[in-house]
Structure 1
Amino acid sequence: MKPFCFANDNIISSEKAILHPMDIGLIRGYGIFDFFRTAHHIPLFLSDYLDRFTRSAGKTHLTLDFNKEQLAQIIHELIRRNDLEFGGIRMVLTGGVSENHFSPTAGQFFIFCEALDFPAPSKYETGIKLLAVEHIRAIADIKTTNYAFPVWHSAIWKKEGAEDVLYHLNGQVSESSRSNIFVIKDRKIATPDKHILHGITRKRVLELAPQTEIRPISLKEVLSADELFITSTTKKVLPVTQIDGNTIGTGKPGPITQKLMQDFALMEKENFQKV
């Protein structure tokens, strides 16, 4: 964590940021967050992330006392104070300390700056493995702080040499624990339409590939795909070449995935150059 954060309506030393132990963000896991990256001191796709965070606050009945313009000003000042050329920014809004220890009330709002590590370059070259698991995230269209299931399950997937999981239920896939998924078959791209977080990287990939079908996708379809990849803030466009013990396509990142990786890198570059 970087030296300065935003807490208690001020930019303060990160060491002084505190949370009441009875906040339902802690005792009930009720809160929201969002996370985005900086490149050359520029917060990438900031408007999209702030829109999503604001929507999440409204949907979860949490009070956010700052508008989009105020949030942007705070974030730019934190980037300056922390000299965050390349890193991550995490916004957190908790459920607060309520009288019945259950209902949301006025919570705590934080913004932290962090160092950021991407997957190893070799994973983009060879692809990764996912473990298929029956699960759907609660209120999946909101980026809540409740990651109890994947945090618990991560010990299992690490033993299996996997990067993450692929959620599915009743034969239909939804997403990974922190990523969206795209399927390619016969050069046609598709991505799930339900029980997903509407990722910002997913949104950008849809702009790069507007012909993508947004529809239900079965696990069977995933396993027979020619190419597969996941998208997220911290993974960008990352090829998937194995699900459990099943090889996807040729077992190597495919040409359409590789082209989208290149196109997304160019889109990011154009984004920070325009600011």
Structure 2
Amino acid sequence: MQRIVYVNGEWLPESEAKVSVFDRGFLFADAVYEVTAVIGGKLIDYAGHAARLKRSLGELGIASPVDADQLLDIHRQIVARNNLGEGLIYLQISRGPADRDFTFPKNPAPTIVLFTQPKAVLANPKVETGISVVTLPDQRWARRDIKTVQLLYPSMAKMEAMRQNADDAWLVEDGFITEASSANAHIVTAEGKLITRSLTSAILHGITRASVLDLARGAGVPVEERAFTLEEARQAAEAFITSASSFVMPVTRIDGEPVGNGKPGPVTQRLRASYIENRLAGAI
């Protein structure tokens, strides 16, 4: 059965969904996106994703084609129309179609697209073993705090990780870890302190990251927001990533070497369980 997608106010079978060849999202990657997890047919951390979308649009000067109430209704409708019990909703908004020019068009009509992707978010077998990462240079643009569709280098990094028989890449800039190819990076010291990079334009301001840090502080886990080095990561007792598509995922190997004892650590496991319990309770 075909997915039903949302394109500029219309609900269409995916085979009938079309966007202009002149769309600036296609020509210039002049677009932003969001990903919201769905569990039990309900939206996880939706308010944070909606707020970040508004910020990303504002940073690029793109007007939202729908208001906040309409956006929530579209999310709920796409879940219902696709009978999505568990998975992801992808939303993309571009500046819209215009003649090809590096300058922004006057009075553009933004393009909005939403589609679903079924995925077993909770029952990921990697949770039991953790994932392996390799380190690669961070060669992305400097405004990573804006969630744009400029994802070619992260895709290349993921492919290089796979070539090295790893699950993902951790990106390194000036000797410090920035983040994973599509997730925020965290380590836990032998003393039980959670360290993660502070919010700057160097990383995406992760919604799951923010939720997990709040839960960690509430549980009495010391949290330090600062850049950490590759050597610190290699010497850490635990490591993990956070994202809407994986929640809290243990990292058990870095560049082929085990993190800690090479198994998911207790702090990581506790935070994953706490995040899932807390966010399921608040799902809409």
TM-score (norm 2): 0.90
2:130 is aligned to: 127
1:247 is aligned to: 258
Letter in 1 for 2:208: T
2:50 is aligned to: 50
Displacement of 1:95 after TM fit?
Answer: 3.1
Q: 2:278 aligned to 251, 255, 267, which one?
A: 267
Asked whether 1:203 is paired with 2:203, we answer: no
> For 1:118-175, what per-residue CA distance to the aligned partner results, in whole angstroms no more than 9, with x for missing partners?
4974421121111111115321111111111122233321121211110111111111
CA separation in 2, counterparts of 1:124 and 1:250? Answer: 15
Runs of 4+ in 1 over 3 A off after TM superposition: 117-122
Residues 91 and 111, structure 1, Cα contact 8 Å, conserved in 2: yes
Residues 158 and 181, structure 2, Cα contact 8 Å, conserved in 1: no
Letter in 2 for 1:207: D
> For 1:47-105, what per-residue CA distance to the aligned partner results, in whole angstroms no more than 9, with x for missing partners?
11111111111111212121211101121122222222222111111232333432344
CA separation in 2, counterparts of 1:41 and 1:117? Answer: 13
Give the 3 Å change call, closer, same or farther, for CA 119–103 of structure 1 in structure 2.
Answer: farther
State the secondary structure of the residue aligned to 1:145.
Answer: coil
Asked whether 1:156 is paired with 2:160, we answer: yes
Asked whether 1:190 is paired with 2:190, we answer: no
CA separation in 2, counterparts of 1:136 and 1:202? Answer: 22
Displacement of 1:239 after TM fit?
Answer: 0.6
2:118 is aligned to: 115
Residues 22 and 101, structure 1, Cα contact 8 Å, conserved in 2: no
Displacement of 1:13 after TM fit?
Answer: 2.7
Give the 3 Å change call, closer, same or farther, for CA 169–137 of structure 1 in structure 2.
Answer: same
State the secondary structure of the residue aligned to 2:210.
Answer: helix
1:224 is aligned to: 235
CA separation in 1, counterparts of 2:45 and 2:230? Answer: 31
Residues 27 and 100, structure 2, Cα contact 8 Å, conserved in 1: no
CA separation in 2, counterparts of 1:4 and 1:218? Answer: 44
CA separation in 2, counterparts of 1:137 and 1:149? Answer: 6
State the secondary structure of the residue aligned to 1:87.
Answer: strand
State the secondary structure of the residue aligned to 2:144.
Answer: coil
Q: How many residues end up aligned between the 2 structures?
A: 273
State the secondary structure of the residue aligned to 1:37.
Answer: strand
Residues 23 and 97, structure 1, Cα contact 8 Å, conserved in 2: yes
Q: Percent identity?
A: 28
Letter in 2 for 1:247: P
TM-score (norm 1): 0.92
Bigger mean CA offset, 104-113 vs 32-41: 104-113
CA separation in 2, counterparts of 1:206 and 1:222? Answer: 18
Bigger mean CA offset, 110-119 vs 28-37: 110-119
CA separation in 1, counterparts of 2:122 and 2:185? Answer: 16
Residues 3 and 14, structure 1, Cα contact 8 Å, conserved in 2: yes
Give the 3 Å change call, closer, same or farther, for CA 148–9 of structure 1 in structure 2.
Answer: same
Give the 3 Å change call, closer, same or farther, for CA 118–80 of structure 1 in structure 2.
Answer: closer
Asked whether 1:147 is paired with 2:151, we answer: yes
Specify every segment of 5 or more residues in structure 2 that has no aligned partner in the other structure, as ranges.
none
